[in-house]
Amino acid sequence: MSFNSAGGFSMGGGPKIFTRQIENPQVFDALTSMTGQNFGYNQVAWRSWYATQVRYEVINGRRD
């Protein structure tokens, strides 16, 4: 019996990845209580809000 034939074990095997959205009320409650914001489960709105909260520190690279 030869395992080198066309197809063999390589056809159709392998892992399949599925992505789905899951609402997690415990995480949502924690997030709204920590931030004081409520964007529901809208990921785009949360990320946009977070982007406005990030503060960049100005670093002076000059030596005196």
pLDDT-above-90 percentage for the chain: 53
- Radius of gyration for the alpha carbons in the chain, expressed in angstroms and rounded: 25
Work out the average pLDDT over 21-40.
94
* pLDDT tens-place string over residues 32-57: 999 999 999 999 999 999 999 988 77
For residue 29, give Cα distances in angstroms to 19, 23, 25, 34, 35.
23, 11, 6, 9, 10
Q: Which two tokens stand for residue 9?
A: 């074990």
Mean pLDDT of 2-19: 70
How far apart, in whole angstroms, are the C-alpha atoms of residue 38 and residue 19?
24
* pLDDT (mean) for 16-36: 93
Domain boundaries in the chain? 20-59
pTM above threshold 0.75 = no
Percentage above 70 pLDDT, the chain: 80
Q: What are φ and ψ of residue 46, in 5° steps? A: -65, -45
